[in-house]
A and B are shown apart, each in its own frame.
Chain A
């Protein structure tokens, strides 16, 4: 890669809505405390489904939702999560203070890159009573790209728009695309991230039938147990993570607070099976290897891996194998944790929340744990930061996402040099 031509990209704003908390502070507090956000499902009556629990967003203050009726008509639950997280990230960054463009596009060099989808949560009951598409805005409401366009029109963003739909990998791929657009000069900043909501009858049905969900119905908070020998599937979650990615000089010039630098990105395909990952972790290995090479960072420099760590038998074994191949001897020394142990799987929203956790890890010098880790699996024998948060300085962190269809993506972040921190309080 011709790295010399590339511009540096930093993160200057973050926002989340998660089952652990809908602010950065409350989410971080729960992560460090090792709390589970998994419980019996309340939004719908899931009592007769094979899995009766999930990780629901429960503390989102209604006052943070948009009040405009037209927005409420076209943004469904997942996109409202995304809207709130994006609003927080933009406010946090301060990038919209001041007008960089024209009236037609006050922020013409800021774009949007999102990982999201078009699934409809009330599909089954509406199909039953034959009223699926009654509203004239439904073609937008159930389009995957509606969130990006709506966000951009609301804030006056004129830069490139990308919506990525690669299931569990979407959020990380959206961040990667956003990173590249700034690095190669297509935008000065990007609102990037993902959002999803999977606590609905259709997703419970689909994932249950595939045998992907944990059925530990007697103890939901202990169901998500990545890398533990007795893991039996993942836990459906919901939420959003949004970041403001910004060109380094642009951020420095306005004295912005910098959370860290996006250093590298890669995506790969397993070219294997639609749901299974290969035992040797080939695609995941290539994803990490290429992202590190893109970042110009040696494997030994990585101080933390936020694993995809879904708590399925296959993923955790395959990911462990991939980490060993990528990191060699260093695999035994690099701490790895799966925050899905606490907040479940946010699918399209997962990658972005997990990259935010990587940034917070670097900023706080604290590793978040993998909870419910009780019985080691001989095939998963690395340091998963079991159960208790750990104080440790981290200069480079890496976030993995792997999805159905065999798509893998990795983003590498690192501490920014001292100069970039000048603006931090």
Chain B
């Protein structure tokens, strides 16, 4: 089996779009939470969120293409470009069918602002008329409307920009999508289907659809204190803070990275995915957390016989049930070692960016190994007996020798995924 390394990182985050700015944010325990006062199409006033800042899509995408992109799509396209540039690899010099792309995506989106004029045109005192819409509404919709919300939009723009013609996937798996995109790219390179891949995830939980969708659930925090709203594993946690962003990676074989003298951020050692098993209710569950991590660690043994993670970058969703389930799952997977394995939750600072979150957490893990320090779980103030691991509570990074770290993620329908990353190659 071929060894797979990461030689480029591209980030679009609430702290900015460079690895340095991102690391400075999380290492200093800085909450990205703020009062978000304007969301296009939303009339309900302010909410707590962790928005991307300092990002100008026009720096990455021409105006014509931008009109065909839902806002979060530009995050993904930008992060992929940053990862490719960071790697120093000239992708267009390679055989295009040996270059793949794997995207953790939010899936289809319908921008209602694009449809509202047509819907209003077809509504009168009696309500909405489909008959009227067919005649008078339809011509008011942008001819390319369908493509703007295309689920595989980022994958398309990556292929166009970098001529990636090889094996690909667009994984629309919510909170595990970013992790899975990296995992699927890893296996696809390891097994010889492609030699190089761009992989990562993008998403935004800060658009009107996502905000409204979750308002009627009990999954989002009700806190109005932006900095302290997200508190994974704390006894007073009451839901996640909606976030957004993107992270992409340039992944290639160790052989090609060595040959071209590339800077290596780390190695992908293992990947595992799992379903809920016979869960009583959908959602993150202890069995799935344990199964995904165990599978990823076993997968890693093919390249590293003695795989013992020095830290777990936890999912830490900050809902009552998910965090206790994850705690039990990590114990199931690691046994007594779980108590000695730090498990910081980045969502305490960055909120939940769904399909982007796993990829952003992978970037954090790679940077942490290099910096020999673990970012904290902030807002962890009151201990919950159900959550009794070492989550690196505090407001600043902790020094730590990290040669192997694992990522644990889940989505809201009970899918789980984990990857294992190594520092030294």
Most chain A CB within 10 A, of B135, B191, B275, is at: B275
Interface flag for A165 (CB, 8 Å) = yes
Evaluate contact between B278 and A1: CB separation under 8 angstroms: no
Q: Which of A186, A206, A208, A406 contacts B156 (CB 8 A)?
A: A406
Chain B 151-189, CB-CB to A under 8 Å as 1, else 0, gives 111011001100111111111111000001000100100
A363 CB–B CB distance under 8 Å: no
Are B150 and A407 closer than 8 Å at their CB atoms?
no
Number of A-B contacts (CB under 8 A): 284
| B187 neighbours in A (Cβ, 8 Å) | 180, 184
Chain A: interface residue total (CB-CB under 8 A) = 90
Q: Which residue of B lies closest to A111 (CB)?
A: B275
Q: Min CB distance, A290 to chain B, in Å? A: 7
A119 at interface, CB cutoff 8 A:
yes
Is there an interface contact between A104 and B127, defined as CB atoms closer than 8 Å?
no
B150, B165, B279: the one contacting A404 at CB < 8 Å is B150
Contact status B413-A45, CB under 8 Å: no
**Is there an interface contact between A132 and B172, defined as CB atoms closer than 8 Å?**
no
B138 with A49: CB separation less than 8 A: yes
Q: How far is the CB of B290 from chain A (nearest CB, A)?
A: 9
A residues less than 8 Å from B184 (CB atoms)? 162, 177
Main secondary structure, interface of B, reads: mixed
- Are A206 and B172 in touch, CB under 8 angstroms? no
Q: Report whether A139 and B213 are in contact in the complex, using a CB–CB cutoff of 8 Å.
A: yes
Identify the stretch in A265-273, A354-362, A364-372 within 8 Å (CB) of chain B at 4 or more residues.
A265-273
Q: Are B277 and A158 in contact (CB under 8 A)?
A: yes
A142 and B108 CA atoms in complex are apart in Å by 10
Residues from 13 to 42 in A contacting B, C-beta threshold 8 Å: none
Question: Considering the chains assembled together, what is the distance between the CA atoms of A153 and B165 in angstroms?
Answer: 36
Q: With A153-B414, A161-B415, A270-B159 in contact, is A124–B128 under 8 Å at CB?
A: yes
**Chain B residue at minimal CB-CB distance from A211:** B143
* Contact stretch, chosen from B109-117, B310-318, B368-376, B382-390: B109-117
A145 to B108, CA, bound (A): 12
Q: Which residues of B contact A128 (CB under 8 A)?
A: 119-120, 122-123, 127-128
> B residues within 8 A CB of A268?
97, 165-168
A275: chain B residues at CB < 8 Å are 147
Residues of A120-148 contacting chain B, CB below 8 A: 120, 123-125, 127-129, 132-140, 142-146, 148
Q: Does residue A415 face the partner (Cβ distance < 8 Å to B)?
A: no
- Is A403 close to B, CB under 8 A? yes
Does chain B have a CB within 8 A of A247?
no
Name the B residues within 8 Å of A210 (CB-CB): 143-144, 146-147
Interface residues on B, range: 35 or more
Which of B4-12, B18-26, B28-36, B216-224 forms contacts with chain A? B216-224
Contacts A1-B192, A125-B128, A128-B127 given; does A157 touch B275 at CB 8 Å = yes
Of all chain B residues, the one with the shortest Cβ separation from A173 is B169
Contact yes or no, B216 A138, CB < 8 A: yes
Interfacial chain A residues near B164, Cβ < 8 Å: 269, 271
The chain B residue with its CB closest to the CB of A275 is B147
Q: Which residue of A has the minimal Cβ distance to B274? A: A158
B55 at the interface (CB under 8 A from A): no
- Is A380 located at the chain interface by the 8 A CB criterion? no
A45–B128 Cα distance when bound, in Å, is 12
Q: B146–A209 contact, CB under 8 A? A: yes
Residues of A within 8 A of B282 (CB): 74, 140, 146, 149-150, 153
A119, A132, A136, A269: which contacts B165 (Cβ < 8 A)? A269
Q: Complex formed: what's the CA distance from A146 to B39 in Å?
A: 26
Residues of A with C-beta under 8 A to B115: 123-124, 127
Chain A CB within 8 A of B60 CB: no
Partner of A118 from the list B172, B219, B412 (CB cut-off 8 Å) is: B172
B167 to A133, Cβ gap below 8 A?
A: no
Across-interface contacts of A173 in B (CB, < 8 A): 169
Min Cβ gap A279→B in Å is 16
Contact present for A167 and B144 (CB under 8 Å): no
Q: How far is the CA of A252 from the CA of B398 in the complex (A)?
A: 54
A48 and B134 within 8 A (CB)? yes
Please give the distance in Å from B298's CB to the nearest CB on chain A: 10
A162 CB to closest chain B CB, in angstroms? 6
From residue B356, how far is it (CB to closest CB) to chain A in Å? 15
Contact of B278 among A118, A134, A156, A164 (CB under 8 A): A156
- Known pairs A108-B291, A268-B166; A163 contacts B147 (CB<8 A): no
A124-B133, A146-B413, A158-B288 known; A209-B143 Cβ under 8 A: yes
A207 to chain B: which residues have CB within 8 Å?
146
Q: Do residues B218 and A136 form an inter-chain contact, with CB atoms below 8 A?
A: yes
Q: Are B152 and A163 closer than 8 Å at their CB atoms?
A: no
Check if A46 is an interface residue, CB within 8 A of chain B: yes
Report the bound CA distance from A357 to B362 in whole Å: 41
**Does B215 count as interface, using CB distance less than 8 angstroms?**
yes
Point out the residues of chain B lying under 8 angstroms from A158, CB to CB. Answer: 274-277, 287-288, 291
Contacting residue for A105 out of B216, B219, B287, CB 8 A: B287
Find out whether the CB atom of A139 lies under 8 angstroms from the CB atom of B146. Answer: no
Interface residue A44 (Cβ < 8 Å from any Cβ of B):
yes
- In the complex the two chains form, what is the Cα distance from A1 to B190 in whole Å? 10
Q: Is B86 an interface residue (CB 8 A)?
A: no
Q: What residues on B are CB-neighbors of A123 within 8 Å? A: 110, 115
> In the complex, what distance in Å separates the CA atom of A184 from the CA atom of B128?
52
CA A348 – CA B413 in complex, angstroms? 20
A271 CB contacts on chain B under 8 angstroms: 96, 159-160, 163-165
Residue in contact with B274 in the complex, picked from A1, A129, A160, A283, CB distance below 8 Å: A160
A-B contact pairs, 15 of them (CB 8 A): A2-B192, A104-B278, A108-B291, A119-B108, A144-B151, A145-B411, A160-B272, A160-B275, A161-B275, A163-B173, A201-B133, A268-B166, A270-B159, A271-B159, A407-B168
4 additional contacts, CB 8 Å, given A153-B275, A166-B169, A203-B146?
A: A104-B278, A108-B291, A123-B110, A149-B413
Q: Which residues of B does A touch, CB under 8 Å?
A: 68, 96-97, 101, 105, 107-108, 110, 112, 115-116, 119-120, 122-123, 127-128, 130-135, 137-138, 141-147, 150-153, 155-156, 159-160, 163-174, 180, 184, 187, 191-193, 209, 212-219, 272-279, 281-282, 287-288, 291, 295, 411-415
Q: Which 4 A-B pairs have the closest CB atoms?
A: A149-B413, A48-B134, A105-B277, A206-B146
A residues lining the B interface (CB < 8 Å): 1-2, 44-50, 74, 101, 103-106, 108, 111-112, 117-120, 123-125, 127-129, 132-140, 142-146, 148-150, 152-153, 156-167, 173, 177, 180, 184, 186, 201-203, 205-210, 266-272, 274-275, 283, 286, 290, 403-407
